[in-house]
Amino acid sequence: MSRARELLSDPLTNKGTAFTEEERDRFRLHGLLPPHVGTLESQMERRWRALGALPDNFQRYSFLRDLQDSNEILFHALVANNIEALLPIVYTPTVGEGCQRFSEIWRRPRGLFLSYPNRHRIKEMLADPAYDRVRAIVVSDGERILGLGDQGAGGMGIPIGKLALYTACGGFHPGELLPILLDVGTDNARLRNDPLYIGWRHERVRGPDYDAFVDAFVAAVAERWPGALLQWEDFAGANAARLLDRHRDQLLSFNDDIQGTAAVAVGTLLSAMRRTGRPLSAQRILLFGAGAAGTGIGSLLIAAMRAEGLDEAAARATIWAIDRDGLIREGANQVSEAARRFARPAGEADDLAGADLATIVARVAPTVMIGVSGQSGAFTEDAVRAMAAAVDRPIIFPLSNPASHAEARPDMLSAWTEGRAIIGTGSPFPPVKAALTPVTQVNNVYIFPGVALGALAAGARGVSDAMFMASARALAEAADGASALLPPVTALRDVALTVATAVAEQAVADGLATVATDDWRTRIAAMMWTPEYAAAE
């Protein structure tokens, strides 16, 4: 292939009409491009007009994926300069449909599909020199995509979307990022029988064979990129915490569904405390959903309350957790080890066995209710009205994604609480005019780019729980003075810098940093890349 066609076919070097006359002469691009010499700004305007002409967000998502695969600098510039409008398209909620229809719109390779039949080739597939610059990886096995279940190879949409936000919000150069899908099959029969499905048509590999495959992957990553960061994403609850615990000491890694969700939820709650005038340790918290996300939130809440002076038992006593079998009570529920931490003592709540949410709310009188169940409409009118009857400013966070799986819509919550509720949602919703406090999207994007950036800046040997607590506190402080609970999404790049600084400082305090500096904020800011064309070489 000629150098001209190499430049135009590589999304990291293609500049389209923005190649200069000198570059067109040097690389013989004349004729391959129209004669107009454009700029990044004029190209963004052209793409913005094209986006606006499309009929729906899925078509816009598909358009942006094509743009990313043809001209990555232009894609990232467009997203970074229109983050408020494009965040819901590049990621939640539209990315959910993007995963469901991934095989339908797949056109060009991006990232790596490591399939189980090719398990003996993992090192070979990672060895491509194109990946020499990689510093951060997001990996999924596609089993638990948002609240949509098993999407198999279509789950690749999540690592691609997350890493787009690493760049837009965290300032990572796209050449440093690698999305990976561990294709171990799918239990979604519809996908296996779909002639368009691009993944391995096999039921999911489980048990020791699955663990051996993941072990081989982790070992190969640690060997290929020592010091790189691995983010685990959208693994099913049965594997998410287990894989994190199994591998967190082998390489720099974290699970965003567990730790990132916990940090953004706790950070937003700390911000909400300014509205209520009462500390976190004085709250009564009802966790609706005790999977990986729910137990991660609960554990970080306990850590935050202990920092406020409560002991372990007192902190646990503030949290009431509900799983699929109802209120978690000692010896009464079949739940994970992590969920058992939140079981109510034997005899304390026997009268609530089998009780519905409204009955439990009436008895417990929670001041905070957090939903991570994936059950649409689970926060019923009776339950919310019972909460509002006992609490002046109820804090209600239906965090499940996508919007169709949210435990309640914010307009309903506001109506049932006469506008008094302090509301945070996982997905974006239209503004609620009657709400006393603007509805806040409690999105992990406020956390994970900064955690990754701070950990890498510090050369951290691991990502500690204390680093996520530091990120939560930094997020709450960044929101101080804002009308909403969190800063606007237009400030996400500044938020990432603030979070990264706190994470790097905590890495030093934890003895995990291998880099030293007297000014972390300046060091990290200098690492953050801005999308702009470089001279062709």
Binding residues for a divalent metal cation, by number, are 233-234, 257
* Residue 248 CB coordination number (10 Å): 18
Q: Give the residue ranges of the annotated binding site.
A: 144, 233-234, 257, 401, 443
Cα–Cα distance for residue pair 208/189, rounded to 1 Å: 23
Contact criterion met (CB below 8 Å) for 288 and 357: yes
Contact 290, 339 (CB under 8 A): yes
446 included as an active-site residue? no
Rg of the chain on CA atoms, in Å: 24
Catalytic residue, from 15, 61, 131, 162: name it. 162
Q: How many CA atoms lie within 13 A of 301 on its CB side?
A: 33
Q: Which of 428, 441, 88, 506 is nearest to 268 (CA)?
A: 441
Q: Where are the beta strands (DSSP E) in 149-290?
A: 177-183, 229-232, 252-255, 285-288
220 burial (CB, 10 Å; 0-12 / 13-18 / 19+) is middle
Active-site pick, 61, 91, 131, 210: 91
Q: 353: which 2 tokens?
A: 């066995």
Length of the chain, in residues: 537
| CA torsion, ordered 393, 496, 44, 57, to nearest 10 deg | -40
Q: Look up residue 248 and give its amino acid.
A: R
| Nearest residue to 255 via CA among 530, 494, 468 | 468
| Edge-to-edge order in the sheet of strand 285-288 | 326-327, 319-323, 285-288, 368-371, 395-398, 422-425, 440-441
List CB contacts of 473: < 8 A, sequence separation 6 or more: 267, 270, 502
Peptide bond into 93 cis (omega under 30): yes
Told to judge if 162 belongs to the known catalytic residues of this protein, a careful annotator would answer: yes
Q: 323 forms bridges with which residues in the sheet?
A: 326
Q: Are strands 326-327 and 319-323 parallel, antiparallel or unpaired?
A: antiparallel
Q: Kindly list the catalytic residues.
A: 91, 162
